[in-house]
Amino acid sequence: MKLSRKQSVIRRHRRVRKKVSGTPDRPRLCVFRSHKHIYAQVIDDVAQNTVAAASTLDSEVKSDLKSTSTCEASSAVGKLVAQRALEKGVTKVVFDRGGNLYHGRIQSLAEAAREAGLDF
């Protein structure tokens, strides 16, 4: 039986989450990608709280973009989430690609976050 695309993403995400966990010293940069938008959160799994978050639904990002489902939009979200995390004092994170392949929009978000100052 062949798995659907969504089932494959869920399987990969579970496999990644077995190894990746956020700590207060090094929280987890979690990415969720839908067809229209992309969301990123910096999460401390020990305290179970979100340190910083950004998405293409934020007015800062949405006003500058023609489309929210492009690599350009993802890099804008990556810069914004890195900026917000740095304001909270977070410099090192663990990257959680959310079961998606490290390619396209996920890769552009990660590279933009690195350029903005996050270390992972």
Tell me what percent of the residues of the chain surpass a pLDDT of 90.
98
87 in a domain, yes or no?
yes
* Domain presence at residue 97: yes
The C-alpha atoms of residue 37 and residue 10 are separated, in whole angstroms, by 18
Q: What are phi and psi of 53, to 5 degrees?
A: -150, 155
- For the chain, the straight-line distance linking the first and the last C-alpha, in angstroms and rounded, comes to 37
Query: Once rounded to an integer, what is the mean pLDDT over residues 43-58?
Result: 96
In a domain, 120, yes or no: no
pLDDT of 1: 87
Structural domains in the chain (count): 1
Q: pLDDT value at position 82?
A: 98
pLDDT average, residue stretch 79-94: 97
Of 96, 80, 120, residue with least CA distance to 43:
96
Whether residue 17 is contained in a domain is answered as yes
| Within a domain: 15 | yes
Domain extent for 102: 5-115
CATH assignment at residue 102: 3.30.420.100
